[in-house]
Structure 1
Amino acid sequence: MFAEAAQRCEESPAECPQIAESILRTMCPNVNMCSVTAVKSRGDFSWIESVLSTGVPDGRHRLILYVLSRYLANVKGLNEADAVNEIRGFLERSCKNFGNCSKVYDSWIRNVVSKVKSGGWKPWSLEKLKEKDPDLYNTVLKLISESGKGQVDTLSATRS
């Protein structure tokens, strides 16, 4: 399979990306069951780092579930214990910086990290966050705008 693909790429370099994609689809028909190492090269995740470093006034559970756990496990490639520790730090900063101190159980965090890691799910983008959870999106956008960290094009992030 690979030798044939290499030959085809050599004969037709312009078609090589499609050939490679075809091989990937053949080897991994259900992308949710495969490692998501390719996610690293897609998108700008600096806004997630900004949120991790400051915490949030509201929406911690949703951020952990849809963004932070997926980013830490499947983009940064942290093992489960390290991802859980990073999330604990995020929770501490949310408490210290915003008074958002209600309990989030370690067992829940471990379960979420385990599920997203085994599923290979990638984190929601700002666009998806805007679509699925506008209130959380506005909170995140305000934080990254104030911090000046997440190098996010807020004009494109706020377009309809």
Structure 2
Amino acid sequence: MIECLVLPGVPGLWARALDECGGPRGCGGAAEEFLRSVCRDPSLCGSTGGRAGGAGRYAWVEKIIERGVPDGRSRLILYVISRYLVNVKGLPPEEAEAVVDSFLDASCRNHGNCRKVYKSWVRNVLRHVARGGWRPWSLERLQREDPQLYQVVESVIKG
């Protein structure tokens, strides 16, 4: 048997979320409403798609998105940016795609890296990242797994 924390008004929301999760729509809004109801301070809870404090840990990603990069755009989208936007910030696919587009524009504008990245590939990555729930690579993991890309990121962050 699962025991739950009982808060005023929460049992009804909990029951509704459980009922809807078994229905054809999936959990959708009921689960989000339930999570909002049990979080007393939304600034501590983060988005429903992420964990508390995740955005601060990945502040460097915001700089990369804003400034773009001279090389490694696709790898950054795949391992860092898409995962950050979807699973840390909790953005819906359309908003996440718009942010990826702004990253690509910044890479072109600031670094001359204007080669085509297909929107269908970006959408596919965002869809799979959302389904998998994967967290973005940290700077430490980036340094360990892809030292060349880490050097690119480090130069952009410091520059």
Q: With the length of structure 1 as denominator, give the TM-score of the two structures.
A: 0.68
What is the aligned residue count?
116
Q: What fraction of aligned residue pairs are identical, expressed as a percent?
A: 49
Q: Retained in 2: the 8 A contact 1:54–1:90?
A: yes
Unpaired segments ≥5 residues, structure 2: 7-47
What is the CA–CA distance in structure 2 between the aligned matches of 1:140 and 1:2, rounded to whole Å?
A: 45
Name the residue aligned to 1:141.
154
Is it true that 1:73 corresponds to 2:86 in the alignment? yes
Which fold has the larger relative contact order, with Cα–Cα distance below 8 Å and residues 6 or more apart in sequence? 1
State the alpha-carbon separation in 2 of the partners of residues 36 and 70 from structure 1.
10
1:118 and 2:141 are equivalent in the alignment: no
* One-letter code aligned to 1:119: G
Give matches, 1:3-152, under 5 Å. 3=4, 37-38=50-51, 40-42=52-54, 44-146=57-159
Let me know the Cα RMSD of the aligned residues.
1.7
CA distance, structure 1, for counterparts of residue 66 and residue 157 of structure 2: 10
In terms of fraction of residues, the more helix-rich structure is: 1
- SS of the residue corresponding to residue 2 of structure 1 reads coil
Aligned partners of 2:97 and 2:123: how far apart in 1?
6
Query: Residue 36 of structure 1: CA displacement?
Result: 5.2
Describe the SS at the equivalent of 1:138.
helix
TM (norm. structure 2) is 0.69
Deviations 1:15-56 (A, max 9, x none): xxxxxxxxxxxxxxxxxxxx7522x42461110000000000
